[in-house]
Chains A and B, each alone.
Chain A
């Protein structure tokens, strides 16, 4: 008889393992039902809180993502070239491109077509809202003639290029704008443009859908109308050039540069890219905050799955004994986390879409105020924000359930397991945790030293996460230490209920550590962001106090902060002649591109600025020296964010493109500024006019003579301009406006912060509730031994309050560490501002008390329930 060949035995083993696999595979649904689903359903309330927290986190991410994408889509849309297939755009370096250049370009062999564009800002007569006015060559370029109003759209007129649009002073608006202006076909509308009143007539109303996204809230008119309204007679703001099929890009650019030496030639998507870049720091920070809300949600998932593993421990043991594979158990619990992520994300996507409109309103008003006039009011139909948030949501949940699932897989097969004894039998690796925490803090310090990545403070955020990780790691050892100290130091007068508290906390130190870690994250984030905002606000407040020295500021009506709304400078001499006026400073500021990055070029009357104004110079420079250099030599001042972003200090030189060729300028000094994170180059107005031929001004700062009445000055100024075409702002008002603008900018941050805090409070509530459920048996035994309901309640509430107190305290510490990172690393890298650190102790104290009270309350509810549990069941069940 032959021996069984080795292959047979191995085949047998394979068959057996295959059998186990099959059994496991078949057991998976059953196991999932038994171990997870039943549990999840039994603890509906907690499941709901967990799912809700993920949903909120995802919703916030979706909303912010959509708002950001829509804002970008909106200005990319409006910045998009008019003619399809535009190869390059020709942009002026100074006031504009002479109109006659159009013909030259059109006649170039490599050019198939060139479309002129004149664009600017007008405001409604009340000076309340601003609109972009775009003048185009309506006959050729826009191709609107085909996209007329659809059927069933009564009062809207068809665009008839020959008869209607060519008439002077007529405009095309979308239905949306028509509704906002209460206009219909033929309505004459009063606008203010460049401190002059103009009347434009509605020549056509067209369906929003007929216009590209982002074009739906602008006013379109013929080129000549735009030139007249915007004071650009004979000038163009842009040319969209379509290259001939045979001409390549390089050749086209070369040809253009030859005939038009002093323009900028840019790719058609450059403006959109610049706009995106402008707002990137702002948007990145919002996205980061939203991600933190999601992170707090992930802590809750970790909590929930851990709980479910702990409570199912004996069942897991039995399942393992009956043949469930380690991997099956692992998979079952991983699936729980993933399912929570999927369900939470699904709700989050819907909720996020609903929140997006609100978020967009906030985001776009901030972006408008800070960067561009283009108001986005529509949610862009882009799938990316949904996908990103859902992936992030599910991924966070998956990661959060990894550890508990591993824990579940490590449960040894057993048929009988004593409940509640396992955690205390495993010593806490306290030293290891403390060392890991120290390593995390070390990493945080190192990461904080690194330079930003592509302008994004990526390492700053990584440093913040390292701080959070370190504090999370510290939670367990800290809790154990405090419990140990409390155990020995508790006064002899404390009742039995209180005396059990430290032991209970110690007995479930890991579980409790997770609960307080999620609270810690929420508190840390809230404290740090509040500190950042307070620091920033205080800094800006001081700076405004220092720098706003003018008595009255004049700007054209409808001028939003950064929009290039100008007025002619002929008013200057009349203003200077007013008897109340000591001096008038003409301010000019416009967006430019330097070394491929957006920044601002500003000009003022340095003579006046140095004598009356007070721009704080950094590095001990003196105005008396600097002002001479600015007036006499090709020198400029730059703002602090500019110096940081372009890495230029006093003495540095750089080339600036002008209509008259490149000019080398020297940085004479750096001044402190919080008006724009894109930075400013400030030069003397005389030099600016000489270099750019641009005499327009954005605002005038009037300095009154000593003793002159401001109201008289105001009245005199209005007489110079006539009514409603300028906005006059007295010093105090401007100060308040600036701070109000500041607060609007940070409103969304506050809201996100609040959401994260609420999630983390929900987190500690659900974690504490879960711990009580987990302890039912123990509480039953205590009740058997004669503990009263009141004592049970006291014990649990005291425990919850202790956990809340420790968690919130850790949160405060982490919060201050994060605040330092936010103020000195992230903010500096993202915006380039130096901010003085201002703590908010009162706010922090309030927050602390709220957290402790919430924790105690969160304990009180399950404590009541626990005290009322039917005793027999709790002692009987084993």
Chain B
């Protein structure tokens, strides 16, 4: 349902229209300078499926104008995320993590550079196409949960499916399963305001994964929680990622959280640092 044909909707401005399999993993690793463990990247050893790049960012840059001064939030960042990876994005506050995440979430448009999400170059997409990409391919976990206050937990979790036009009878079991998975079966009919922070973030995680997105982005998901709850939420996120074979990029400045990841990408002053 959520699958996207790689070529669909892609227009000019892209180096190669059917690019996914053509990408050389090594080249990517070199280009992004991310320093993934060499051992896992022996060319030819992996199937095309598993090496499919969910995120392929090439020198993406984001600047903001503040009156006459230009603020560079993200400077020529290149990175790749493979299907099934759990990657942490760390760096001090203000280094550009959220900006990078937002660009990958198609919430913000890079000022320069080429970004491919699930094989689709986003540069040439209009708002409707970006919206559709967000709806089908991306799940987002916010630091402040951002659950809709007027909806119940069940309705909040169902939102992505509702927006995708699922029939009610298909939504119901999917939501029930997701709530079961995050341990909120008993809170399904409550309003977010009546839940604890940890519970709210669990609901937000359920909402982010309900539609089996290709890419889950989490911006400091534990940043607003106490340590123990944060650990619980992190464990949950990690478990969901494994169970559902998700690709996750999580911004955090919590070292413990970062260590739970498959690999870590470090940022400083808007740049991605070498390993």
Contacts and interface: CB of A to CB of B under 8 A. Distances in A.
A401 to B, nearest CB: 26
The main secondary structure of chain B at its interface with chain A is helix
Interface string B224-248: 0000000000000000000000000
Interface stretch (B5-13, B125-133, B179-187): B125-133
Interface in A844-878: 871-872, 875-876, 878
B150 A425 contact: no
Contacts of A496: 159, 162-163, 165
Interface in B103-128: 105, 107-108, 127-128
Contacts of A786: 131-132, 134-136, 138, 160, 163-164
A876 B131 CA distance: 17
Given A496-B165, A788-B131, A876 B149 contact: no
Contact of B193 (A421, A506, A875): A421
A650 interface: no
B193 A507 contact: no
Interface in A780-796: 781-789, 791
Contacts of A421: 149, 192-193
B140 interface: yes
Interface string B16-44: 00000000000000000000000000000
A784 B193 contact: no
The main secondary structure of chain A at its interface with chain B is helix
A424 B146 contact: no
A495 B159 CA distance: 12
A551 interface: no
A789 B128 contact: yes
B46 interface: no
A781 B128 CA distance: 16
Nearest to A492: B168
Nearest to B148: A778
Nearest to A783: B131
A418 interface: yes
Most buried by A among B105, B159, B163: B163
Contact of A420 (B99, B102, B149, B164): B149
Nearest to A874: B107
B260 interface: no
Nearest to A503: B150
Contacts of A420: 149
Most buried by A among B98, B143, B144, B167: B144
Interface in A438-456: none
B150 A424 contact: yes
Contacts of B159: 496, 782, 785
A783 B155 CA distance: 16
Contact of B107 (A418, A499, A784): A784
Nearest to B105: A784
A503 B151 contact: yes
A537 B15 CA distance: 79
B165 to A, nearest CB: 7
B69 to A, nearest CB: 18
Contacts of B131: 783, 786-789
B142 interface: yes
B150 A876 contact: no
B158 to A, nearest CB: 10
A785 B163 contact: yes
A312 interface: no
Given A424-B150, A786-B135, A789-B127, A872 B108 contact: yes
Interface residues of B, number: 37
Contacts of B160: 785-786
A781 B143 CA distance: 12
B268 interface: no
A39 interface: no
B191 interface: yes
A787 B140 CA distance: 14
B165 A785 contact: no
B194 interface: yes
A787 B127 CA distance: 11
Nearest to A789: B127
Contacts of B167: 492
Contacts of B164: 786
A164 interface: no
Nearest to B132: A786
Interface in B199-246: 207
A508 interface: yes
Contacts of B165: 495-496
A784 B191 contact: no
A503 B155 contact: yes
A262 interface: no
A878 B220 CA distance: 14
B193 A424 contact: yes
Contacts of B144: 418, 878
A417 to B, nearest CB: 11
Contact of B140 (A424, A495, A499, A785): A785
Contact of A875 (B142, B151, B192, B194): B142
Contacts of B193: 421-422, 424-425
Interface string A765-807: 0000000000001100111111111010000000000000000
Contact of B102 (A495, A500, A503, A876): A876
B107 A504 contact: no
Most buried by A among B131, B140, B142, B193: B131
A514 B160 CA distance: 32
Contacts of A787: 131, 135, 163
Contacts of A872: 99, 102, 107-108
Contacts of B128: 788-789
A66 to B, nearest CB: 48
Given A424-B191, A784-B107, A507 B149 contact: yes
Nearest to A508: B150
Nearest to A878: B144
Contacts of A783: 131, 134
A787 B148 CA distance: 13
Given A499-B162, A872-B107, A876-B102, A784 B148 contact: no
A507 B150 CA distance: 5
Contacts of A506: 150
A782 B150 CA distance: 13
Nearest to B211: A786
B236 to A, nearest CB: 20
A355 to B, nearest CB: 44
A145 to B, nearest CB: 77
Most buried by B among A507, A783, A787, A871: A871
Contacts of A503: 148, 150-151, 155
A421 B146 CA distance: 10
A778 B145 CA distance: 12
A654 B104 CA distance: 95
Interface string A658-679: 0000000000000000000000
Contacts of B155: 503
Contact of A504 (B150, B163, B168): B150
27 contacts: A420-B149, A422-B193, A425-B193, A492-B168, A496-B159, A496-B162, A496-B163, A496-B165, A503-B151, A503-B155, A507-B148, A777-B146, A781-B146, A782-B159, A782-B163, A784-B107, A784-B134, A786-B134, A786-B135, A786-B160, A788-B128, A788-B132, A789-B127, A871-B107, A875-B107, A876-B98, A878-B144
Given A781-B142, A875-B102, A876-B98, 7 more contacts: A500-B162, A503-B151, A503-B155, A504-B150, A508-B150, A871-B107, A878-B143
Interface of B: 98-99, 102, 105, 107-108, 127-128, 131-132, 134-136, 138, 140, 142-144, 146, 148-151, 155, 159-160, 162-165, 167-168, 191-194, 207
Question: Which 5 pairs from chain A and chain B are nearest by CB?
Answer: A786-B135, A507-B150, A425-B193, A496-B162, A872-B108
